[in-house]
Chain A
């Protein structure tokens, strides 16, 4: 399965500022996914990022708040903009499995964000 490097692993940020999270994959993948996991909760999909097109956002998430870049098939960034304490969560990127028959999803190690 793909190996994902995600950084930063954690950060403490001031409200009103922005943080950009990076996700690097060791192989080319068509789709990359960004999830949010609030403390003690399940994973919620923020958006799907395809190379060469705008990201597709889920209900409740907007591009102005969570802009995403996908410049190539191995890299993506998620920015959390104008942060508030409610944005304190773990943010994870995920990629589909490689190969036409394998749909196992792999997750990055996550970014633990605390907004103060």
Chain B
């Protein structure tokens, strides 16, 4: 089955700096890669996703890049703010067919220091 590795497990940055979180996946058939933000005591919230037919996607201060050949994808947060502090999870799945299940990475605790 799919295996998703996520690094780093913790990341501390100063407000205004950029943060990068990286994930690798094992199943070359995976073609959908979402990122979730989970604040303490709350549900995971989808913040951005990318499909395998594109290499990059941006949404304001957040961007995701995908390298299908190397089977890795990354989350980039620019101009970080204290409210960006949370646990971020990457995930992978295969769209199509009858099973869209997500396989998650272990998460990255991001701390943005004022």
Chain A residues close to B by CB (< 8 Å):
1, 31, 33, 41-45, 48, 50, 56, 59, 92, 94, 96, 103-110
Contacts and interface: CB of A to CB of B under 8 A. Distances in A.
Interface residues on B, range: 20 to 34
B61 interface: no
Nearest to A92: B43
B46 interface: yes
B60 interface: no
Interface stretch (B13-21, B68-76, B103-111): B103-111
A104 B104 contact: no
Contacts of B98: 31, 50
B33 to A, nearest CB: 10
A56 B99 CA distance: 10
Contacts, number: 50
B106 A109 contact: no
Contact of B101 (A42, A48, A59): A48
A50 B99 CA distance: 10
A67 B6 CA distance: 31
A43 B38 CA distance: 11
A94 B50 CA distance: 19
Nearest to B105: A42
Contact of B34 (A31, A50, A104): A104
Interface string B79-105: 000000000010001010011111111
* Residue among B1, B46, B100, B105 with the highest chain A CB neighbour number at 10 A: B100
B102 A105 contact: yes
B99 A104 contact: no
A105 B92 CA distance: 12
